[in-house]
Structure 1
Amino acid sequence: MPAYAIAHLRTPTVNDDVLDYLERIQDTLEPYGGRFLVHGGDVNVLEDEWPGTIVIIEFPDWESAHAWYSSPAYQEILPLRTRHIDAAAIIAPGVAAGYHPRAAAARLRQVR
């Protein structure tokens, strides 16, 4: 089951450190099978407020996503972003093939 690293970049800025981060991040992803699905750009806000932009990186599984984030290679470049961009970052699991929200609702009704 895939997993996703998601970052909400509330104050995306561009400077030499951020450009260095961008030039180096792909090399940190490749050993863990990570690939960009969404990488910045304008977002269409449909509800509430959403300052900034979003990044979504897909990994083959939960373990790969966590191994990438904690890897020495990524930890070395992470401050290049975090010193300059206010952001929240998470790792979220994907859903299994055949997932249907109706089944999730049924399970939740049973434990309520």
Structure 2
Amino acid sequence: MTAYAIGNLHPKPVLDEEVFAYMERIQATLDPFDGRFLVHGAPAREVREGTWPGALVIIGFPTYEAARAWYDSEPYQALIPLRTRHMDGDVLLIEGTPDGYEPARTAASLRAAQGGSPAA
């Protein structure tokens, strides 16, 4: 099942040279794990609900294990301080949905777990 590394980053107005070095070197850390950028630092084009005070990064991986192995890898761990010294943010690893995922089935399971009756 696919997995994603997702970051909501808050860069400073003026980027330091270390941030550029991080950006130049990150792809080499992704390649051994078949990671690829799906979104890279894009500000929200439209915030339709709530607020979004950051830049979004989404990196896709073929599996959760690959995402975890990339993040824990020595080459990527060495790069992290180049980013974190110059921008705050939140980073998470998350699994995607399986093929054939049906949100109505998830709703039914959640409803049943709460003791509710099936939807009419």
Range class of TM-score, shorter chain = over 0.9
Q: Does 1:51 align with 2:53?
A: yes
Q: Does 1:111 align with 2:101?
A: no
Which consecutive unaligned segments of at least 5 residues does structure 2 have? 115-120
Q: How does 1:1-112 map to 2 (within 5 A)?
A: 1-11=1-11, 13-43=14-44, 44-112=46-114
TM-score normalised by L of structure 1: 0.96
- % same residue: 49
* Superposition CA RMSD, Å: 1.0
Structure 1 runs, 4 residues or longer, greater than 3 Å off: none
Which consecutive unaligned segments of at least 5 residues does structure 1 have? none
Using the TM superposition, give the Cα deviation of residue 10 of structure 1 relative to its aligned residue in structure 2, in angstroms: 2.2
Confirm or deny: 8 A CA contact 2:42 2:57 kept in the other structure. no
Task: Report the secondary structure of 1:45's partner residue.
Answer: coil
Number of residues of Structure 1 aligned to a counterpart in Structure 2: 112
Confirm or deny: 8 A CA contact 1:32 1:65 kept in the other structure. yes
Greater strand fraction, Structure 1 or Structure 2: 2
Confirm or deny: 8 A CA contact 1:6 1:89 kept in the other structure. yes
Using the TM superposition, give the Cα deviation of residue 11 of structure 1 relative to its aligned residue in structure 2, in angstroms: 2.9
Higher gyration radius (CA): 2
Confirm or deny: 8 A CA contact 1:11 1:51 kept in the other structure. no
